[in-house]
Amino acid sequence: MRIKLRGSCMAPHLAEGEMISVRRRRRYWPGDVIVFRTPSGDLAAHRLLGWRPAGLVTRGDHCSIHDAPVRRDAIVGAVQTDVPLRMRFRSLVQFARIIVRRLVA
């Protein structure tokens, strides 16, 4: 499936107006950019940070807070792009910070 991006939440990695290819996978890893249906039915493309029992934790690269957990059945697929190892590591660090904040609170 090909989708045209709207918005700047994934800048600079993915630019507004860019055409992206999305493909369903069996597994999604921290650092992948996944496309999913929001509760309102819109499509969103955000980076996967980690997993929780309630769903996948995602956040746009240009967003200050993470999204509500994304259920597996809401996932359309992952953007077909190379994800550098540093981006995967950064995603895991961001997820760890979220967990620590919840434990401390």
Give the CATH number of the domain where residue 67 resides. 2.10.109.10
Cα→Cα distances 83→4, 66, 94, Å: 19, 19, 16
Candidates 28, 59, 32; CA nearest to 46 is 59
Which pLDDT band holds residue 12 (cuts at 50, 70, 90)?
Answer: confident
The two beta strands, 55-59 and 19-23, are unpaired
Q: Which domain holds residue 27?
A: 2-104
Q: Is the pLDDT of residue 93 over 90?
A: yes
Between residues 100 and 13, the one the model is more confident about: 100
Q: Which of 45, 39, 33, 36 is nearest to 90 (CA)?
A: 33
What are 55-92's pLDDT values in tens digits?
Answer: 999 999 999 999 999 999 999 999 999 899 999 999 99
Number of domains present in the structure of the chain = 1
